[in-house]
Amino acid sequence: MFIAWFAHWQGSPSPFGNPLYLILIIGAVFYFIVIRPARKSQQNTETMRDQLKNGDRVLTSGGIYGTVVGVSDDQIQVRVADSVKIQFAKSAVAQLVEEPSKRS
């Protein structure tokens, strides 16, 4: 009786066979389209933050542009004006900014 009910419940067969295969395929596609590129981008950002040095132009996550004048393990000091220096966590650096003369 249970087997008859289960066979009726399954309905028509899936072109992928077992529905578990479809779930695994969707999971693999999701991994390669969403998770893997995000992880790669995060690793690139961490590498950029670890390689910061004096003289680099940066943009912080708060939108402040400045030049790095001091670097420690987890903090940087950024000059935003002639005599204005601000201390940030390295994690606040969003990206390096190219010098205007290097742009094409």
Q: How confident is the model at residue 103 (pLDDT cuts 50, 70, 90)?
A: low
Q: Rounded to the nearest 10 degrees, how much is the dihedral formed by the CA atoms of 10, 15, 17, 22?
A: -100
| Number of domain units in the chain | 2
For residue 4, what pLDDT is reported? 57
57/95 same-domain check: yes
Instruction: For residue 104, tell me if it sits in a domain.
Output: no
Give the pLDDT confidence score for residue 66 in this predicted structure: 94
Supply the pLDDT for residue 21: 82
Selected residue with higher pLDDT from 68 and 100:
68
Range of the domain at 76: 53-99
Instruction: With respect to residue 10, please indicate whether it lies within any of the assigned structural domains.
Output: yes
20-51 in b/e form (b: 16+ CB < 10 A) is eeeeeeeeeeeeeeeeeeeeeeeeeeeebbee
What is the tens place of the pLDDT at every residue in 37-77? 999 999 999 999 999 999 999 999 999 999 999 999 899 99
| Per-residue pLDDT tens over the stretch 3-31 | 555 555 555 565 666 778 888 999 999 99
Q: Determine contact, residues 78/85, Cβ cutoff 8 Å.
A: yes
The pTM (predicted TM-score) of the whole model is 0.66
31 with 67: CB under 8 angstroms? no
Residue 25 lies in a domain: yes
Q: Does residue 66 contact residue 78 with C-beta atoms inside 8 Å?
A: yes
pLDDT value of position 45: 92
The CATH number covering residue 59 comes to 2.30.30
Q: Are strands 75-81 and 84-89 parallel, antiparallel or unpaired?
A: antiparallel
Q: Is the domain of 62 the same as that of 37?
A: no
